[in-house]
Chain A
Amino acid sequence: MTHAAVSAEAHPFKGERPVTAEVVREHNLTEAEYGDITAMLGRTPTLTELGIFSALWSEHCSYKHTKPVLRKFPTEGPQVVQGPGENAGVLRLPDGWAVAFKIESHNHPSAVEPYQGAATGVGGILRDVFTMGARPVAVLNSLRLGPLDDPRNRYLFSGIVKGVGDYGNCVGVPTLGGEVAFAPGYSGNPLVNAMCVGLLRETDLMRARAHGVGNILLTMGSRTGRDGIHGASFASEELSAKSEARRPQVQVGDPFTEKLLLEATLELIEAGLTVAIQDMGAAGLTSSSAEMAARGGVGVELDTSLVPTREPGMTPYEIMLSETQERMLIVAEPHRVPDIQAVCARWELTAVPVGRVTDDGLFRIVHDGVTVAAIPGERLVDGCPIHDPEAREAPAAVARRAARPTTPPRVDAAGALTLLLDDPTIASKRWVFEQYDSTVQAETVLGPGGDAGVLRVPGTGFGLAISVDCNQRYVTLDPYEGGKAAVAEAARNVACTGAVPLGITDCLNFGNPDKPEVFFQFTEACRGIADACRAFGTPVTGGNVSLYNESPTGAIDPTPTIGMVGLLHDVTRRVPSHFAAADSSILLLGTSRGHLGGSSYWEVVHGFVGGAPPPVDLDAEHRLQRLLAAAAERGLLRSAHDCSDGGLAVALAEACIGEPYAAAPRGAKVNLANPGAVPVAALLYGEDAGRVVISCGTPEVAQVMALAAEHGVPAEPIGTVSAASEPLEIHLRDGHTTLRWPTPELRRTYFDAIPRRMRADPGREEGR
């Protein structure tokens, strides 16, 4: 691209600080980056321009550390309508329907203010989806926290969960699933990843591309305040009452306004009143306008003095960088403006013209008639210099992968099951998901508490199965296998319901990429994700990268959360996770080798996190997925639940304990052969990948076995389901040992593990 040597002039806003080396540093721009900026402009930038650059050239907007790695993801397939690069990815569904979905992190805001941080995280991801013209039909959330014995972590946990709940509940979008894991690495740096899934007619798809010189830009929704403004602007000001008043403020969510924005936006798009529309997320007005302009290859001019503000005296710098929530930026033909304002008024919102699309390719900001910023738009968005950090695995990580527990188990093989079910990471998350509305919209086929959430597409017979997953222990110990495992588990969870995995969105939560061992984790995990997605034919449709997640004790455990969407052709064929009927036959799909490396058993029972996590055979996983779909389609399955944390024994226990509000748990009589003479604990708690516990009517066993053989999936009948409140019995054919657990007690342990810990302190009352 030609180098626009000297661009248009821009003048400092009255009273604005001159741009010095120190101010540049405050804006987290390197000398090299600043050099590019002055070269690009042919002059010193104004403070407003510097703020704009620092926002768009931040990691969050520019992906300067990660672009080359992310380019290696498979992003294509016949089902892909919209790949990465828009507000959300879009996949094709039957009958002209399409699904838009995206996951995003809100880690730092949630660490500072858990309730508002989590709430606004949900708000942001909802907007990403409805700006595409899709109606949100499900949200999911993936949470990581430090251990619950620390009151600070309990405070963060309850605040985050209430924030997620209050926001989604108020907007009226069901939360169909999610995950929560607890590990010391997240103390002081919790992770809050929120995923939204929306439905649209493929023909209604709306892309955020500004075009049409002379078209009008309007802001819709909340007035702009000083929320979450990049701290740099005041950092070095001597503290005066004035600078105090200008401190950036916590973003506060307003789900009521969001609901109105949602309805108004969908109405505007349906009526064809807009050329483009985009929510104002990170770096609010700056990124939304600059990105829409760049995508459309046009320039924009914004008059910040026209933007409705919540407080008097806001500077262009503040208005451009404000992260006030519940705002949208609309591009429309001039003659549409009155109709747009009428629709907004009906929804008790305001839409105000604040700028226009121009032909000079410049990103120009005017305030009270003075041009305070004029930047070549394309270079602004795409011109950020790319870094390629060094990636090197830490020797300690290699050693840890090779290590084994040195201390004896705390309890025997039978006692271990209770210990595992009481582990907050494995225990039921009912305490969490019962704070989330999971039935609003009345399309919930399978709600939280199973392997994946399932919803019906309104007015059709088909549905979507959705799951978010990541086992950060595996990723920590072996980033490549861990990346594969995250995709494999998400796909397995979706397949357990009978659905066919379609595609993923990912949220890559890592530490500081300038640390070689962190960037190694990043590149290796991404390589694993890419390989798994290729093997399963589930392309990456988008996602989000969150770096610099460092707690006082160092980087967080690497956590590439995978959000998987699958298609269930006939929702009446969906398969629940829990044993449904007494006397059903229980079968185990997949191969058990008793792999304890990286297992929950070692962590919980030996107090040891280490070893090599179970390798994932991607072909075997893919065959397993296809078998589950085929068996479900033929109506052969009464239940299917995959083995994840805690292996076969925990999977069996969960299938017995049953759905979150079952009147009573079921029992099971299980009879395990052990040809490999694997130690009992390894047989019960080993976490070999690619295994699923299914149940079916005894007459169907033969068909299931035949179908499994056809798909090349090992299958073995291992027992039968018994009546309500009967015990779980596991008999080991060799050694003739029988382990017996009363299921009512297992249920109590499983459901009470988290409430018991949270009862310790009612804590502060957040929200209304």
Chain B
Amino acid sequence: MRVAVVRFPGSNCEPETCRAVERAGGDAFYIWHRDTSLSDADAVILPGGFSYGDYLRSGAIARFSPVMEAIRSHAKAGGPVLGICNGFQILCEAGLLPGALVRNAGLKYLSRPVDVRIERTDTPFTSAYRAGQIIRIPIGHGDGRFVAPASLLDQLEAEGRVVLRYAGAPESDVPSNPNGSVQDIAAICSASGTVVGMMPHPERLADRVLGSDAGQGVFESLMRYPVTPVPDPSPRFS
């Protein structure tokens, strides 16, 4: 499977995201934010980082990058799209996912492992997990508090569009919800389930040598996903 990893100025998780895809057997390659084509990618990942320094609002400026049009049509055609951390923020700013990610309730950037419960296993990025399974993967963000109008929240819950929820080990001395996200939401998906945004970083704990590969399932799920090549409307460079 061909997986495009999009580089915005200030993205900084591209290499490890590619490694995770390749470890799962995929073929990962970079797409520069100025490109207007996805070069026949079967799936697109918007990696973590600080696109445009997160200046103004996380993801606010990146959403205008030329590549976003191609991603939009890829998503519209049902192609899988994953936004991780800053990628999730960009997808929300771009309106490809609903809601918004704002400053953590604790007002501090937070880098720590979190336990998240797999709420949905029928997305292209979670099928390798068991429903209800709890995995421990890292977060690293200052703007990770998911917010949305009440009506939208009800809709998300009704349509089962919460993909990951923060869950905690009872004995732990830290709150299970690290950032104050409403209803402990750590990841959501589009109505179709094919566009997923998550705050935690599965690519950072996807290798046993580092102590755990709990996150690798996200990329293995993608490999299992049957892709019908998405026609690429926009003209191609190179």
Contact = CB atoms under 8 A, between A and B. Distances in A.
Contacts of A747: 173
B113 interface: yes
A444 B210 contact: yes
B15 A441 contact: yes
A663 interface: yes
B110 A434 contact: yes
Interface string A410-441: 00000000000000000000000111111111
A169 B142 CA distance: 10
Given A434-B110, A661-B113, A725 B171 contact: yes
B237 interface: no
B209 interface: yes
A439 B111 contact: yes
B140 A439 contact: yes
Contact of B112 (A254, A434, A765, A768): A434
Contact of B12 (A172, A254, A438, A444): A172
Interface stretch (A72-80, A103-111, A255-263): A255-263
Given A439-B138, A663-B169, A571 B50 contact: no
A740 interface: no
Contacts of B54: 170, 768
A434 B174 CA distance: 12
B171 A663 contact: yes
A681 B171 CA distance: 32
B211 interface: yes
A440 B140 contact: yes
A437 B210 CA distance: 16
B204 A440 contact: yes
Contact of A661 (B10, B172, B203, B204): B172
A538 B201 CA distance: 37
A257 B10 CA distance: 8
B180 to A, nearest CB: 15
Contact of B109 (A166, A255, A439, A458): A166
A724 B172 CA distance: 12
Interface residues of A, number: 45
A441 B110 CA distance: 16
A660 B112 contact: yes
Given A443-B210, A661-B113, A663-B172, A170 B50 contact: yes
A437 B169 contact: no
A171 interface: yes
B77 to A, nearest CB: 29
A205 to B, nearest CB: 22
A263 to B, nearest CB: 9
B204 A254 contact: no
A424 to B, nearest CB: 18
B174 A435 contact: no
A254 B108 contact: no
B221 to A, nearest CB: 18
Contacts of A571: 209
A172 B112 contact: no
A348 B9 contact: yes
B10 to A, nearest CB: 5
A664 interface: yes
Residue of A165, A433, A661 with most partner-chain B CB within 10 A: A661
A260 B9 contact: yes
Contacts of A748: 173
A751 B15 CA distance: 34
Range, interface on chain B: 35 or more
A755 to B, nearest CB: 11
B154 interface: no
B206 interface: yes
Given A172-B12, A435-B108, A725-B171, A259 B204 contact: no
A661 B53 CA distance: 29
Nearest to A257: B53
B159 to A, nearest CB: 32
B9 A347 contact: yes
B107 interface: yes
Contacts of A442: 13, 16, 19-20, 203-207, 210
Nearest to B32: A346
B49 interface: yes
A169 B53 contact: no
A211 interface: no
Interface in A205-239: none
A443 B210 CA distance: 7
B16 A436 contact: no
Contacts of B203: 442
Interface string B83-112: 000000000000000000000000111111
Given A438-B111, A439-B111, A661-B174, A254 B53 contact: yes
Contacts of B206: 442
Nearest to B19: A442
A553 interface: no
B55 A434 contact: no
Contacts of A170: 10, 12, 50, 53-54
Given A169-B140, A661-B112, A748-B173, A445 B49 contact: no
Contacts of A438: 111, 140
A443 B211 CA distance: 11
Contact of A172 (B50, B55, B107): B50
Nearest to B108: A435
A738 interface: no
Nearest to B215: A442
B13 A172 contact: yes
Contacts of A751: 173
A662 B54 CA distance: 31
Interface in B102-156: 107-113, 138, 140, 142
The 7 A-B residue pairs with the shortest CB-CB distance in the complex, in nearest-first order: A172-B12, A256-B53, A442-B16, A437-B140, A663-B169, A664-B171, A439-B138
Interface of B: 9-10, 12-13, 15-16, 19-20, 48-50, 52-55, 107-113, 138, 140, 142, 169, 171-174, 201, 203-207, 209-211
Given A170-B12, A437-B140, A663-B171, 14 more contacts: A162-B108, A256-B10, A347-B9, A434-B110, A435-B109, A439-B140, A439-B205, A440-B204, A441-B15, A442-B13, A442-B204, A458-B15, A751-B173, A768-B55
18 contacts: A169-B50, A169-B140, A170-B50, A172-B13, A256-B55, A259-B9, A260-B10, A433-B111, A434-B110, A436-B111, A437-B140, A442-B13, A442-B19, A442-B206, A444-B204, A572-B209, A661-B172, A751-B173
